[in-house]
Chains A and B, each alone.
Chain A
Amino acid sequence: MAHHEGHDTLSEHDQSHLDIHHKIAHEKEFKQQIVSFAMMIFLTMIAFVAVASDAISDAFTVVFIMILAGIQLVFQLYMFMHLSHKGHQYPAWGIFFGVFVAGTCVVALMGMIW
């Protein structure tokens, strides 16, 4: 009984402490997600404008929009899909192994067909 009571008061204290921490972390995450989203909209617009305008050479445009897509990929994986959070080591291995095989596959297929 005494043990039970002690445990309860402790957990209550810890819980309120944890709640505050969670709330702060949650508000911080919310702001980060909004910033990420704004960045992704911005990057998308730059990519469309780069293609629509004739000011930039075609070869450079292709490299440029591929880099923009790469940055958006990182935003999606690390912010929206929470790959930066704790306990994502194995998922990171899984997805990046997939990305590695994917890159090899694209290069090989392009090389074979051309």
Chain B
Amino acid sequence: MKSNEAMTKLPANPERATLEGKNKFLGFWFFLGGETVLFASLFGVYLGLRNATNGGVTANELFELPLVFIATMLLLTSSLTSVFATMALKTNHFKRMIGWFVVTGLLGLGFLGLEIYEFNHYVHEYGHTIKSSAWGSAFYTLVGTHGAHVFMGISWITLLIIRNLRRGMDLYTAPKFYLFALYWHFIDVVWIFIFTVVYLMGKVG
């Protein structure tokens, strides 16, 4: 009985307890290193082209800081809720973990909604499109690639929750949820640099 009970207990780091978990963990960190370079290429292009407005609207005229601030708060809070989910994972509270991941996904959806509203606003009110200037191309490619990552993250966690809801927590499901949390934090890291380099520096001129 005792040993059975001990076996249902998870080890301290269930996401890295099996060889598969270890490999996924390491591989995912390397993938994030590669993603960093992908975004760096887009940031570099953006910084080079941010004044190439082709006579159209400029960053200073276009951006509205309140909207960006709300979007930032949404994403930052979702990063905290996925930390709570990771802590629930490590202490073997499956339902609590799922709850926090649901909150994370909803905050991500809110962020995505704001971004869609923002892009729509820029295109229809200001004529700022991906084709209107080199700056427009750089802007939509950089911010859009980040938005695509948010969309990918929401889809990922939705599928993970649906697929594993009845499985519960074990050494097979723990790495899957842990890696999603890492990915979500990475999305927030990229956003920190987007709101700084694109929006705040755009307002400074």
Contact = CB atoms under 8 A, between A and B. Distances in A.
A29 to B, nearest CB: 7
A90 B37 contact: no
B167 interface: no
Main SS of chain B's interface residues?
Answer: helix
A8 B79 CA distance: 40
A81 to B, nearest CB: 5
Contact of B87 (A26, A61, A73, A103): A26
Interface string B57-96: 0000000010001001100100110111011001100000
Contact of A62 (B6, B13, B32, B201): B201
B26 interface: yes
Q: Give the interface residue-count category, chain B.
A: 35 or more
Contacts of A55: none
Contacts of A47: 195-196, 200
B30 interface: yes
A29 B87 contact: yes
Interface residues of A, number: 54
A94 interface: yes
B109 interface: no
A80 B45 contact: no
Interface stretch (B117-125, B143-151, B157-165, B185-193): B185-193
Interface string B171-205: 00000000000100110110011011100110111
A38 to B, nearest CB: 10
Given A65-B196, A95-B33, A102 B87 contact: no
Contacts of B32: 94-95, 98
Interface in B1-37: 2-3, 6, 9, 12-13, 16, 25-26, 29-30, 32-37
A105 interface: yes
A21 to B, nearest CB: 9
Sort A-B residue pairs by CB-CB distance and give the 8 closest, nearest first.
A113-B48, A109-B44, A98-B33, A102-B40, A91-B29, A98-B36, A106-B44, A69-B196
